[in-house]
Amino acid sequence: MRTVALLVAGVLLAAAEPLTLGELGARIVPYEPVYFALDPSFDEKPVNAKFQISFACKVIGKEVALGQNSDGLFVAYSQTSFWDLESESKPFLDSSYRPESWWHFSLPASLSAESLSLEPGIGHESNGRSGDASRSLNHVFVRALGQWRDGDLVYNATPRVRLYTEKDDNPDIAEYRGYVDLSGSVRKDNGWGLAATGRIGDDWNKGSLMLELTHPAASWTGGWMHGYLYIQSFVGWSESLLGYNQLSDQPRVLIGFSFTR
């Protein structure tokens, strides 16, 4: 609850200086990928669809930029849902709701980087369920961001270190998720992109790896469709918050469409 209160306080501070619709739109930027993907095999697996929505908004800071690389306070909301399309009632098996807030500090570029920055912040994650199915945690984090370019290739590195401040619903979650997310990507201008996120448990014997492959749809549709072909593969532990202590029974591959990458 403390995390949510701090996030709300940031929004209220921003409301002290009203924004026009155009200014508000310029402050809302993509955050994590927004996608919908299916398991094409549909062989009675418990999870055969997955989707995610995610956006961030700059609430404090004079410079308005269409991107995250400008100094100021950001708030974000992300949701990842697992959907069972095989069952008669088409239930959502689990959803993860993740509000976050951070301050973006630009750093002097070095090591041939186009940009370097640091983002200390706070976050909350829960699945909105009760009883034995309830999962919830609060954490503080520091994320580093670096971007490098080599011709038409762009490389990004975004490692994050977190400290759990409350995890009573899932006290052993660090055993499966650890304290560090290692994320990075390589993308070709108007071409393929590959992003990877890896985690390792605090005993170094559990972890996960998610790979995301994207390609602009416009290059195949003559420009009339925007977005990206999206392919995701996951192997390891803790894909969903409800099953944080469970090992995925595949590596499985999901194919779908992403609006951002």
Q: What is the mean pLDDT of residues 36-49?
A: 75
* Residue-level pLDDT at 221: 80
Q: Report the CATH number of the 2-258 domain.
A: 2.40.230.10
Is the four-CA dihedral 78, 129, 36, 40 of positive or negative sign? Answer: positive
* Residue-level pLDDT at 69: 67
Kindly give, in sequence order, each residue whose CB lies less than 8 Å from that of residue 6, ignoring residues fewer than 6 positions away: 101, 122
State percent of the chain over pLDDT 70: 84
Q: What is the mean pLDDT of residues 207-228?
A: 91
Indicate the pLDDT class of residue 223, thresholds 50, 70 and 90: confident
* Residue-level pLDDT at 152: 92
List the chain domain ranges. 2-258
* Residue-level pLDDT at 29: 84
Q: Is the pLDDT of residue 14 over 70?
A: no
pTM exceeds 0.85, yes or no: yes
**HEC-encoded secondary structure of the chain:** CHHHHHHHHHHHHHHCCCCCHHHHHHHEEECCCCEEEECCCCCCCCCCEEEEEEEEEEEECCCCCCCCCCCEEEEEEEEEEEECCCCCCCCEEEEEEEEEEEEEEEECCCCCCCEEEEEEEEEEEECCCCHHHCCEEEEEEEEEEEEEEECCEEEEECCEEEEEEECCCCCCCHHHHCCEEEEEEEEECCCCEEEEEEEECCCCCCEEEEEEEEEECHHHHCCCCCCEEEEEEEEEECCCCCCCCCECCCCEEEEEEECCC
Q: How many angstroms separate the CA atoms of 195 and 212, rounded? A: 5
Q: Specify which of 52-66, 171-185, 210-224 reaches the highest per-range mean pLDDT.
A: 171-185
Q: How many angstroms separate the CA atoms of 210 and 199, rounded? A: 9
Q: Is the pLDDT of residue 224 over 90?
A: no
